[in-house]
Structure 1
Amino acid sequence: MRVAIIAGLMAVGLLAGCGGAEELEPMSPEEANRVVEMAVPSACTDACDQKYYQCYFGGGDPYYCNSYRAFCISQCP
């Protein structure tokens, strides 16, 4: 039942033309580099993820591990 509802909603969205490809505005090399830098995780984020995995798979409380990871990432530059 759920699959039929999702398929119906997707069909309506596709028929309405939602999400069509639009022409992109040209970006300067500085803007392109900034986009790439923001898309690639930093060393700080990797360290936070490593601490999260150690906490979570080491038997820590999932709520605490998730909260600590969010705090750690918020402190990254």
Structure 2
Amino acid sequence: MREQLMSSTLDSIARGEKWEYLVITVAPHESLADTRRRLVDHAEYGQWELQRSVHYRGGTRRHWMRRRVIRVRSTLQS
């Protein structure tokens, strides 16, 4: 299973984007239960939501997950 973060949080904030994306690519020989567990873990602990899933002809599956970029402002006085 391969995971790829599409854009880092700092790059997303600099460009004014509201979402960051995580693409998870699953090989045909990997079990559906393992894939489901990985997606649930990302959703539960990383606050990701499943946006799109594609099942390709060769058996490869690709899942796009997204989460809102949270902009944190400093409360420290300069």
Q: Return the structure number with greater strand share.
A: 2
Same fold (TM over 0.5): no
Q: Return the structure number with greater helix share.
A: 1
Give TM-score scaled by structure 2 length. 0.30
Give TM-score scaled by structure 1 length. 0.31
